[in-house]
Amino acid sequence: ANRRQSHRVVVIGLGRFGSSLAIELVRGGSEVLGIDNNPRLVQKLADELTHTAIADTTDVEALTQLGVPEFQRAVVGIGNDIEASILTTSVLSDFAIPSIWAKAISRQHGRILERVGAHHVVLPEHDMGERVAHLVTGRMLDYIEFEDDYALVKTLAPAEAIGRPLGETKVRAKYGVTVVGIKRPGTGFTYATPETVVNADDILIVAGERDRVENFADLV
């Protein structure tokens, strides 16, 4: 049995961003109403989402008929048509939907979305650009930055951490980072403990302040 709570989410704009998001929500057990004014896109997703509808989401009447005011969560995935993005977000705000997420294509766009009532603004292209910057140099295998300059990084182990238990290497005291997980080639990730001995080809998951985590990855 699925013990996770099932959520109902309306996803507006089923382009690349909205469709990926909607499908992932369904995969995670949510009930999703997907709306787009492009019939071709709606038809493509009809079998994958719980409900789909063709509508212009700047139209209050259309959204009301679809029951959108009853949703607790909404995502506006319209980006390139800034006017439609802003109007749609303000309609959702007028409905007093408690959790409105909206995609922005620029910081200015994001600020306007907040003004008209978005509770959370995401900048996927901007954020992904920053993330990929950490990967192209090859020193990090993956990188996630959270708020407040905190980051989680996938990296190889620096020479001084190899061949000794983590507890003895003092990476936490010396570099201010915590090795959270470790992956031996051919096995899954396991939690790191002070007794874990790191091999040269192990992959580490390291958490800490962004600058400190970057310094640690630079040692590799």
The residues of the shown chain that bind ligand ADP, judged by CB under 6 A, are: 13-18, 36-38, 41, 56-58, 77-81, 84
If we measure between CA atoms, which residue out of 88, 93, 101 comes closest to residue 22?
Answer: 101
Tell the smallest beta-carbon distance from residue 57 to ligand ADP (Å).
Answer: 4
Tell the smallest beta-carbon distance from residue 33 to ligand ADP (Å).
Answer: 13
In the bound state with ligand ADP, the residue whose beta carbon lies nearer, of 122 and 153, is 122
In the bound state with ligand ADP, the residue whose beta carbon lies nearer, of 13 and 208, is 13
The sign of the CA dihedral 115, 120, 125, 129 is: positive
Residue 108 CB neighbour total at 10 angstroms: 10
Tell the smallest beta-carbon distance from residue 104 to ligand ADP (Å).
Answer: 11
In the bound state with ligand ADP, the residue whose beta carbon lies nearer, of 16 and 107, is 16
CA distance 194 to 92: 50
CA distance 179 to 218: 15
Tell the smallest beta-carbon distance from residue 15 to ligand ADP (Å).
Answer: 2
In the bound state with ligand ADP, the residue whose beta carbon lies nearer, of 33 and 84, is 84
Beta strands 189-191 and 177-183, pairing class: antiparallel
